[in-house]
Chain A
Amino acid sequence: MPENRIYHSIKIDVQHCIGCVACMKACPTKAIRVRKRRAIINYDRCIDCGECLRVCPCNAVVSLTTSAADLSRFKYKVALPSPVLYSQFGQNTMPNTVLAALEETGFDRVYDEAVICEMTSLAIEEYLVNRKGAGPTISTTCPVVVRLIQRLFPDLCSLIVPIEPPREIAAKNLRAEISKKLDIPDNEIGIIHITSCPAKMVSINQPESMSKSYLNGAVSIRDIFNQIMMKIKKPSLHGIMDPQWSSSSIGINWAITGGETNCLKTSNTIAVSGVYDTIRILGDVESGRLKKINYLECMICPDGCVGGPLAVENRFIAKSNIIRLIRHLGNRRVVDAGYVRKLYKDGFFSFEHAVAPRPFTPLDNNRDMAIKKFKMKEQIMKKLPGINCGVCGAPDCETLAEDIAREAARLEECIFLAAT
């Protein structure tokens, strides 16, 4: 059983918050309230999706990522950038240039995740071929989707594909290789994900399918962008471009929505991006509507990881850059399928344990009381004006009604009722 406390990577910086309700309105799980002109996150309902971060006009929503100071404790530092990084430096900056510049910012080694993305696609294919049940399975790549399923759709936990995402597979591989080849103790190796995602810290600090993550941290693209940019400008760097260097264009697909499904042979797939559409499609899965689908790729960020709030380039340009890069590289595959099949059989890609449901706290732990409170909530809703103004500090009338039923708010907080 998972421990009750859930790690979160998003918090409100009260110094900057003006209580404008933008985040409260945007939150898909109704986790934010505004009290005394400050936003407060109810962590019991937060899934770390980053919608609040995206809409905040004052930069008052911050995400906890790994800082340069955190990195210094590792003797041997490896950067494992998401393929999103390749989309951040304009049209003509090739992955090898980006990787070389990234290494120069202070890493002992950089590793191209795209190759592992391609491997993971093959492993997923192997899983789908050998799977006995019917109906959709759901991708594990987006840590927020995993959290969303655990909390909002706990009955769908069994549909999560039990294969670790590429970042973990890559780190697992690297960790073994480095400690063997270079004889460096495990705790001195720091494998750092470079990401546009505020939730990677969640899956690193509290992995849901293994006891300990193979990654040591996640650095935001925003934080490291400028340093990489400076190194890219150095003309000498272009001299070290390795003509033999080859990235997997199949793997680079993973940076954008539909990329993961694009890598699979089966076409009975659906790719969805954006938190609201993800919630909608998971509702359809719950109804049993997607029986004919084998694989469902959900990405919380619009357009996939390129739309992550910690990216620098706007997501449309970034997506265009990724598509351009894939075309440029052709449909290049660099991984030996037979080797992956062997690794798959050895369980190299597999979860240590299944993802367990972590449903939201019910209205009451006593079922009878919970039903009573649900009825109460319905009655309160009838009294409220239903215009969802948010002045009470709850995102909409239904949520205020629920808060009142939970004894976390009072009816008088509605200004319409107070005025009459």
Chain B
Amino acid sequence: MRPAVRPRFGFGFDKGMNEGETIFHEEFTVRGGDFANAGDASCRIRRILKDIGVDADIIRRVAIASYEAEMNVVMYAKSGIMMLDVTSVQILIKVEDQGQGIENIELAMQPGFSTATPEMREMGFGAGMGLPNIKKNSDVFDIKSELGSGTRLKIIIHLNGKHA
């Protein structure tokens, strides 16, 4: 497990967090460009969900959403923090990165749109499905970005309810 680091800037994502009783909180630092360790945080998230007995189809959705979110930091940012909050009814993942930011979020949400380099594509990343995939697998999806400073992502997946 990597050392937890407090984020340097807050984003006011705290509302809607107190759903459910017990909260398990964990933070991961994700280093930009560190492809060798990419996926560790989402792997850990999956492990936690399996240990607490979350349904298979929900694990699958969290697995995809969290991995894509983690990979976005690895591919496009200098570094980022991934925060995980698990309650008995939902899982909240927040990702805050310090990176180039997204110029046009609407465009970035279009399936197939990507700014990935040819090298990243060669490795099988950058198909332009990252953000659309995260959104597809989330119950709540919120993204904010500031060009030149970073991107903030908030994902909520309900642990009991049915996904639309």
Contact = CB atoms under 8 A, between A and B. Distances in A.
A359 B53 contact: yes
A368 B60 contact: no
Interface residues of B, number: 30
Interface string A137-165: 00000000000000010111100000000
Interface string A253-295: 0000000000000000000000000000001101111011000
B131 to A, nearest CB: 13
A289 B48 CA distance: 20
B22 interface: yes
B36 interface: no
Interface in A335-390: 357, 359-365, 367-368, 370-372, 374-375
Contact of A370 (B39, B51, B63): B51
Contacts, number: 78
B51 A288 contact: no
Interface string A32-68: 0000000000000000000000000000000000000
Contacts of A289: 39, 67, 124
A367 B20 CA distance: 10
B22 A357 contact: no
Give the most central of A152, A292, A365, A368: most B CB within 10 Å. Answer: A368
A365 to B, nearest CB: 7
B37 to A, nearest CB: 13
Given A367-B159, A368-B22, A155 B52 contact: no
A359 to B, nearest CB: 7
Contact of B21 (A364, A368, A374): A368
Given A362-B51, A368-B21, A374-B51, A287 B63 contact: yes
A362 B53 contact: yes
A368 B59 CA distance: 17
B1 to A, nearest CB: 9
Given A155-B63, A286-B63, A368-B88, A374 B42 contact: no
B52 A359 contact: no
Contact of A363 (B52, B63, B64, B159): B52
Nearest to B130: A288
Contacts of A292: 124
A292 B46 CA distance: 22
Contacts of A357: 56
Interface of B: 20-24, 39, 42-43, 46, 48, 50-53, 56-57, 59-60, 63-64, 67-68, 86-89, 124, 127, 133, 159
Interface of A: 152, 154-157, 283-284, 286-289, 291-292, 357, 359-365, 367-368, 370-372, 374-375, 402
18 contacts: A152-B50, A155-B60, A283-B39, A283-B46, A286-B59, A286-B60, A286-B63, A288-B68, A359-B50, A360-B50, A361-B53, A362-B50, A364-B53, A370-B51, A370-B53, A371-B52, A375-B24, A402-B51
